[in-house]
Structure 1
């Protein structure tokens, strides 16, 4: 087993230094003056932070020979050398592990899928360790060390403690996943809720770059929501901030697995849609794909189920907009395969329920392949590596 001696400490020991590095990571290449402008730090603080990061190879200065010969100090941009470090991200679903090897800029270099024969934590850990070993071998081919492992799991996850408090899809309770995975892989481990992990990736590398306040809503097996407020991903006091899937839309609606009635998830999640399509049509559709196919053939009962799902999602988005006032709401997840069936209802319900200027929120759809969930896990590992305040 490979040991943690393979990893190294990052050089940004202060919040200012990690802020500077994160800014270059998300927005670079940037000149030092541009970094100072974006971070509102002094030129001296920027220079002090940048110098050791360049010397250690994390930042690269792009020297312009024409600028070098001009009068005054050259304004050479600096950028992150993505190949300087590697990270592994693993997304745990109910039936498979999806794992990626990424560079420091969270670009996927290698992706792997492994079916799960059991959801028992010990079995999942053993499969995760085997997958990590595969990716560590791949990393050796790049000649660069893997500096961290991120694991993303649905449900109530306490990132600070590294514990999965409750994951309904896996039927896990109080699993100290970070500690166990660190023991089995020898790597520093970050464990987070899968939607929050995806939100980190979107904040640093995707549709949320440069936004102070935005929300990511995922539609599929569940209805999830990641929130960024004043530049910070919000977990809440108990780690369950953003649970819009359990906002009650219809008190007389279908029973939700949480015990309440009419939750967004009980109306618009994949399993809820399948159950409602069966009831409305009398057709024993096997899964979400079969329900979608039936609706696409024009079956009125199936289409009505999707219309109700779209209305529930739209009202949930309006709730986020009213409470948070984000600049943007990004809709993603595998449920977007049905977007053509409920896009109109989402827009109409959002417009009707969003209060005042909240309706001006930019609502975007962002279809993402399933590997992006694992990339989100890798993003949390990158975040932990460069920001000590996130451990």
Structure 2
């Protein structure tokens, strides 16, 4: 367990729900950084008079502050710049595994103020909800004013009639669970739930290594193989919450079988359990196999080489399908990139579209607390609103201003 000393208790719940324009202006500052009033009004396609009303409300709620005068263009007079007050709100993020709960409190810029973890007392839905409530109470005592919460977990999470439903979470043994509603009722603040890989993708796209990219892919390697996809600035969900489900992509029809009975799929080589199972030695765990590979054990090295080949096939297929600006690999199983980078690169070269651009592959270190922070980013995202029609409208306006041409309607799909 880790906690940090709390800063002054400036965070507080909003006095009233933010309007659509207030959310959009706040999102603009949060994602794109400090701007002048003229820049915000231009990017949102609203009048200066309307923006004055919006900014007055955001400043009164402690969410935005005025900064110094800056010259915002090659000509003209300096303008007062507005910026986010990170301390204006606090958010709770939670990551659930099959046996543990990770939690974090962040500010409005998703900067961690406190980190906490404990074993799950039970996998029963009501027990997990109660445990999240207890963690919320404990952290709220140190960091009052938590405005919203977000929970990430492995499984399929979909929106049905405006409700977030955990359709299935194999690690927890859940089916058709309205987790967000149950946690909202328990905590007394809005809560959101999402597939953990998709939540991590949102976090990296908004606040991490994906900032500024309109398209990216995030691959997590560990207990399973997960894929998050960003297209036209939006994280893809899919009709059934399963966009990016490529763990069973075929690699070798003569390969080993995965837990689902598929022969030679990505998961049968790349998951931590598959790498351990390849050694056929009782008593080993993933950390032991990593240690064996580092000591030069031939069987461990071979298991990682085969895993590296499978990862390369997956990367190439995603590059061919999505054509992203960046592909990120992370997770507690990224040792495969250490032991099998040659096999990874060779498989990419063999399976990549020969006319495709070079792949920007970014291997990132992994910390479990980052999954919990991703939950807090879900809460921030929902706090700022998920009105996709408004987002699409503002994106159209921005492209018209920036390029002077009408946007392509085929790109205007909501996530």
TM-score normalised over the length of structure 1: 0.88
User: Are residues 46 and 276 of structure 1, via their aligned partners in 2, closer, same or farther at CA, if it must alter by over 3 Å?
Assistant: farther
Q: Secondary structure at the match of 2:185?
A: helix
Q: Distance in 2 between matches of 1:349 and 1:261?
A: 19
Deviations 1:127-162 (A, max 9, x none): 22211111111212xxxx111110001011125532
Corresponding position of 1:59: 64
Task: Report matched runs for 1:155-166 at 5 Å.
Answer: 155-159=155-159, 161-166=163-168
Is the Cα contact below 8 Å between 1:152 and 1:197 reproduced in 2?
yes
Deviations 1:178-218 (A, max 9, x none): 12212222221100000010011111100111111111111
Q: Distance in 2 between matches of 1:43 and 1:75?
A: 17
> Of 125, 138, 143, which residue of structure 1 is paired with 2:142?
138
Q: Does 1:386 align with 2:384?
A: yes
- Deviation of residue 376 (structure 1)? 0.4
TM-score normalised over the length of structure 2: 0.83
Corresponding position of 2:181: 179
> Of 28, 31, 52, which residue of structure 1 is paired with 2:33?
28
> Of 3, 10, 13, which residue of structure 1 is paired with 2:20?
13
> Of 110, 133, 138, which residue of structure 2 is paired with 1:129?
133
Q: Distance in 2 between matches of 1:7 and 1:48?
A: 17
Q: Does 1:95 align with 2:102?
A: no
Task: Report matched runs for 1:286-325 at 5 Å.
Answer: 286-325=284-323
- Deviation of residue 342 (structure 1)? 1.9
Deviations 1:75-118 (A, max 9, x none): 22221111000000000001110000011110000010011233
Is the Cα contact below 8 Å between 1:12 and 1:386 reproduced in 2?
no
Corresponding position of 1:342: 340
Q: Does 1:149 align with 2:154?
A: no
User: Are residues 289 and 229 of structure 1, via their aligned partners in 2, closer, same or farther at CA, if it must alter by over 3 Å?
Assistant: same
User: Are residues 60 and 356 of structure 1, via their aligned partners in 2, closer, same or farther at CA, if it must alter by over 3 Å?
Assistant: farther
Corresponding position of 2:45: 41
Q: Distance in 2 between matches of 1:8 and 1:40?
A: 24
Could you list the runs of 5+ residues in structure 2 that have no partner in the other structure?
A: 1-11, 389-414
Mean alpha-carbon deviation: is it higher for 95-104 or for 150-159? 150-159
Q: Distance in 2 between matches of 1:288 and 1:245?
A: 19
- Deviation of residue 365 (structure 1)? 1.0
- Deviation of residue 35 (structure 1)? 4.2
Is the Cα contact below 8 Å between 1:59 and 1:79 reproduced in 2?
yes
Q: Distance in 1 between matches of 2:15 and 2:285?
A: 46
Could you list the runs of 5+ residues in structure 1 that have no partner in the other structure?
A: none
- Deviation of residue 47 (structure 1)? 5.3
Is the Cα contact below 8 Å between 1:285 and 1:291 reproduced in 2?
no
- Deviation of residue 266 (structure 1)? 1.9
Please, what is the CA RMSD of the aligned residues? 2.4
User: Are residues 360 and 10 of structure 1, via their aligned partners in 2, closer, same or farther at CA, if it must alter by over 3 Å?
Assistant: farther
Is the Cα contact below 8 Å between 1:36 and 1:42 reproduced in 2?
yes
Q: Does 1:354 align with 2:361?
A: no
- The alignment covers a number of residue pairs equal to 372
Q: Distance in 2 between matches of 1:261 and 1:178?
A: 36
Q: Secondary structure at the match of 1:245?
A: coil
Is the Cα contact below 8 Å between 2:307 and 2:336 reproduced in 1?
no
Q: Distance in 2 between matches of 1:154 and 1:344?
A: 30
> Of 189, 195, 198, which residue of structure 1 is paired with 2:197?
195
